[in-house]
Every structure is written in C-alpha cells, then in structure tokens.
Copies of this chain bind each other. A is one copy, B any other.
C-alpha cells in the first residue's frame, strides 16, 4: 500500500499541495468547499499526516519524554498513569524511558530525549543520581523540565512533591498521641532528599512532644520486606527497648509486622506500626497497616498540568519555577490504633 501524502491529494483535486496542507490544518483563508473536498479525498485515500515531517519543519514534536526509575514499582506506574492521562487529553504523547535506578541509564534516557527532540521532559531521578545528573544540559538547551517526587537538589526547577517532612511528622505524631514512647524509625542509607525529610519530620515530632532522640532507634539500610524483619531481629538481639516502628515505606513495615507476629508481639497492643506509601496490600493484610498516602495519580496529573502551564509560558527558565507540594494523607489503620 503506497503511502499517501498531501501531494497525492493535491493531484486528485487539481490544486496545489499547499492548499491541501492549509485545508487539513483548517486555515481560515481556505474556502469551505475546498476544505470539504480535501477532507473527503484524504479519507478516501486513507491519508495519515506524517508527524515526523511536520515535526521536522515546525520544530515541535508534541512528544514529552518521561523518565522514571522503574515501572514495576507501583508508585511510579501510578504517577505515569496520571501523567499520561492529562498529557493525552492535551494532545501530547509520552516517550517512555526507565532509568532502572542507574545514573548511567538515566543519562542515556536524557540523550535519547534530546535526540528525539521531545518538547519537554518530566522525570523522577534515580537513587544513584547525585548533584544534577545530566539534567543541567536539558536546562542549558532551554527544554522545559519538571520533576516529581525525587528532585535533584541543586537545580531550581518546577516540581511536584509531597511534603515528606510533614508525612514523617504526622506518622510520628500519631504514634506519640496513641501513647507510644520509644519509636523506632527505619530509614535508607542513601542521601536522598525525600528520605531525609521524612527523618526530619520524625525528629521534629519527637522534639515537639518532648521525647528524647535515641540514636539506637534510628536504623538505616536498604528497603525491603526482608530488611524489616532483620531490623526487628536486631533490635531484639541488642535488647533495645521499643514500642513502635515507623518505616520509610510499606514493604519494610510488612516485614516488621511479620517478624513481630512471629515472636509473639501483639500489634498494636505491644508495638504500633506506621508505614509509608499506601501500597495496595496495607489495607488487606491483618492487621491492616497504618500508612501515609502519597497521592500518586494526583501527583502525576499535577506535574502534567504544571508542565502544560510551563509550555504555554515559554522562556521556561526565566520565571521562578513553580513548586507544588501536596499534602500527604495519614491513614490510620489497625496497626497503630490502640
């Protein structure tokens, strides 16, 4: 099947291709009759506008690059769901790239986006990324850029995040108000802003309620269910006294719950638990796990909208970048209700 171009339509109708182009783009100077004829012929011949050609000429691709760490993590796929939904409604298509949490792969993604001449980039940085990664170059080329959740520290760019500080604070405050006093916090060993913020929230809540800060209660490691179990084992082995655990994310909390149940601790009577992320399972397991909801789909939609605003403004880097901070929702469930 031969590829139909505006030239073929023009020949059919004995007009020039530029008239066809204008008719298809609903140019005001073209007569209704011509437009009608052009559209019918286009349909009849099975014409599909060639976006590649139009992009080359116009310099706009109507494509947005989205760079996420990995899509088998429900947080990122939910956000992507939100981004795609809004972008789609506004006539943009998503070019997708996973960094797989690798800084090198992240750089490849940006390179690909640059070569593909995307109209802009939305990203969440990899765990390995330090400083600005390859993002300064995007900025230098005046390509609009927005981040969600994980934002490079050094770059003053538009971003949508949740208030991780507040999330950490709320979780801890809730545990304190429920009467827990020796609250363990399991964090991550890497220097990632959002994780540091949750820790800061934890510390400030303790301070505000006059509780001592005990370094023995602050654990850093990698996050996983297994790590949660290990933490409990180590706390017990070291005979460290505790009556609650606030974890950086839900899988760790799940591990904590499993191990505590295994050694006969009652939840929430003996130990209160709060996780982070509102993974689907937290509301299905027994006891249901209290957690902090990160408004994933909303975050995606917000970053997409913020991005569209940015695109309209032009001069992306001349204005003060807009930052949207969503308020996390504390979901109190059985694991901390006593």
Contact = CB atoms under 8 A, between A and B. Distances in A.
A81 B85 contact: no
A312 interface: no
A117 to B, nearest CB: 5
Given A84-B96, A84-B98, A97-B93, A71 B78 contact: yes
Contact of A95 (B72, B93, B111): B93
Interface in A114-163: 114-117, 140-142
- The count of identical subunits is 2
A51 B71 CA distance: 26
Contacts of A141: 1
A48 B94 CA distance: 20
Q: Which of A94, A115, A284 has the most CB of B within 10 A?
A: A284
Interface stretch (A7-15, A52-60, A169-177, A192-200): A52-60
A55 to B, nearest CB: 5
Interface string A31-67: 0000000000000000011111101100001010010
A80 B96 CA distance: 10
Contacts of A94: 95-97
Contacts of A55: 52
A48 B81 contact: no
Contacts of A140: 1
A274 to B, nearest CB: 17
Interface string A287-327: 00000000001000000000000000000000000000000
Interface in A268-285: 279-281, 284-285
Given A50-B115, A71-B77, A81-B98, 20 more contacts: A48-B111, A48-B114, A50-B56, A50-B117, A52-B61, A70-B81, A71-B71, A71-B80, A74-B74, A74-B77, A84-B98, A93-B96, A93-B97, A94-B96, A94-B97, A254-B284, A281-B281, A284-B284, A285-B285, A285-B286
Interface of A: 1, 48-53, 55-56, 61, 63, 66, 70-72, 74, 77-78, 80-81, 84-85, 88, 93-98, 100, 111-112, 114-117, 140-142, 254, 279-281, 284-286, 297
6 contacts: A48-B111, A51-B115, A56-B56, A80-B96, A84-B96, A85-B98
